Amino acid sequence: MTGLMNKTLACLGLTLSMALSIPGIGMTVPLRPIGPDQSVTGDKLGWDEQIWGPCLEGSANSAPSRHGRYLERAESFRTRAGGRCRWGSQLADKEALLEAIARSLEYLQTPSAAAAYRQYPVSGITRDRVMRSLERFRVLLLSSQTPTELQAAVQREFVLYKSVGEDGEGTVAFTGYFEPTYAASARPTAEYPYPLYRLPPDFANWSRPHPTRRELEGADGLLGEKSLLRGLELVWLRDRFEVFLVHVQGSARLQLTDGSVMTVGYAGKTDRPYTSVGGEIYRDGIMRLEDITLPALISYFRASPQAMNRYLPRNRSFIFFQETNGTPATGSLGLSVTAERSIATDKSLMPPGALALIHTQLPYANARGELEFRSVSRYVLDQDTGSAIKGAGRVDIFMGTGREAGDRAGLMNSTGELYYLLLKQ
């Protein structure tokens, strides 16, 4: 992730629930424009309830915001004729979307963005067009009075480029990733024996292929003084599977035993390929494919801790970390990622920093506090990637930080559609 937490080379955008999936079919042209005579899924596409919230009685009130008069103006526009209905107070989420747009625009000004778009494979999608599209969408977002108005403006002014998906028919697999929060210790103890490691200073000179996970940390994760990494321990956790999850997610917030908080992020990785632990468990007949979720894997390893010695080393890839001094979770473009507004895709195929629209299912807590899925149509920014996010049929959604985000991300394994929004030429 951004220098400190770069996910580009690591499998950091994966939830274990989807890491077992068969890669999508490779496509020469990953995106195809939707013509005026072609239909898209449902009349709710572009109806982003996360922005608008419920229809409420009364008139809208302005609220302080980092975007000042713009959000105040936008909220005042939400009152319908006669003052009967306003679209509910989702200022925090609207501001989060605006911040995510601003970060993408910041990235698009960089030399790395210019280089990426010089090589982008889809005709007509240029850096300039992506920037103008973001700027125009921001204006429409701020000025639209209702979700219907924003939806109509998008349909009038933008062309939707649809991902061909994993099957050439537009089917996209959606998963979630998150920044975990775990208990940790600045020194090894009987309670906290499992380390995260710093990047070796001579790593660039290591012979290839690099050592495997088993060779670096042992089958049980406790190779310790016998490890090639001795002396490079950064911090210790008490749960081995939590260490493994930090490797998968690529960053973490750690609550240390002295009461302080430490943040860690990606510093490098070995050249060994990523292997899905969930996939190995499925292939061994331990779980059915449809039953493999992060909560299910956690329960399995808690009930059978010795199974970790058998399965975790099968992922031969190994991640190194560094302290990030409170830096928020950051994606491969060097941008802070935003919960439910940042996605990770295959950047060899998809336009970096671009505005996108996803149509899928996400888990939300119901009135009983239970997670259940509901269909969403959500504007997002393409700001991240991961080594296991390959092909036009894979999207990973950043779900946030902490346990609740992890619970939601761990359940996500849905299909849907992915569109990119570009201003008409």
Same domain, 143 and 253: no
Provide the pLDDT for residue 7.
35
- Is the pLDDT score of 51 beyond 90? no
Provide the pLDDT for residue 26.
42
Provide the pLDDT for residue 314.
98
| Cα 158 from Cα 305, distance rounded (Å) | 52
% of the chain at pLDDT higher than 70: 82
* Residue 77: pLDDT band with limits 50, 70, 90: very low
**Neighbouring C-beta atoms of residue 258, cutoff 10 Å:** 7
329 close to 337: Cβ distance less than 8 angstroms:
yes
The amino acid at residue 413 is N
% of the chain at pLDDT higher than 90: 69
| Cα 97 from Cα 312, distance rounded (Å) | 37
**CA neighbours within 13 Å on the CB side: how many for 266?**
29
| Cα 308 from Cα 310, distance rounded (Å) | 5
- Is the pLDDT score of 2 beyond 50? no
- Is the pLDDT score of 12 beyond 50? no
* Residue 90: pLDDT band with limits 50, 70, 90: low
Provide the pLDDT for residue 78.
36
Question: Domain with 312 in it: what CATH number?
Answer: 2.40.240.50
Provide the pLDDT for residue 53.
66
Domain boundary among 300, 323, 346: 323
Angle CA 242–10–263, to nearest 5: 50
Q: What would the mean pLDDT of 295-307 be, rounded to a whole number?
A: 96
| Cα 132 from Cα 126, distance rounded (Å) | 10
pTM for the whole thing? 0.78
**Distance of CA 40 to CAs 148, 149, 161, 395, Å?**
16, 18, 11, 19
- 260 inside domain: yes
pLDDT tens by residue, 250-280: 889 999 999 999 999 989 999 999 899 999 9
Question: Domain with 412 in it: what CATH number?
Answer: 2.40.40.10
| Sequence-ordered strand ranges (E) for 34-97 | 55-56, 86-87
Domain boundary among 255, 289, 323: 323
- Is the pLDDT score of 74 beyond 90? no
- Is the pLDDT score of 67 beyond 70? no
Q: Which domain holds residue 215?
A: 180-323
| Sequence-ordered strand ranges (E) for 88-169 | 158-163
Provide the pLDDT for residue 290.
87
| Burial class of 156 by CB neighbour count within 10 A (0 to 12, 13 to 18, 19+) | exposed
pLDDT tens by residue, 15-37: 434 443 333 334 479 999 987 66
Burial 345-358 (b: 16+ CB within 10 A, else e): bbbebbbbbbbbbb
- 5 inside domain: no
Q: What would the mean pLDDT of 186-196 be, rounded to a whole number?
A: 98
Provide the pLDDT for residue 54.
56
Domain boundary among 323, 345, 377: 323
Q: What would the mean pLDDT of 218-224 be, rounded to a whole number?
A: 97
70 or 394, higher pLDDT:
394
**Distance of CA 308 to CAs 218, 277, 328, 395, Å?**
11, 9, 30, 28
Same domain, 167 and 61: yes
Same domain, 157 and 261: no
**Neighbouring C-beta atoms of residue 397, cutoff 10 Å:** 29
- 356 inside domain: yes
45 or 403, higher pLDDT:
403
* Residue 50: pLDDT band with limits 50, 70, 90: confident
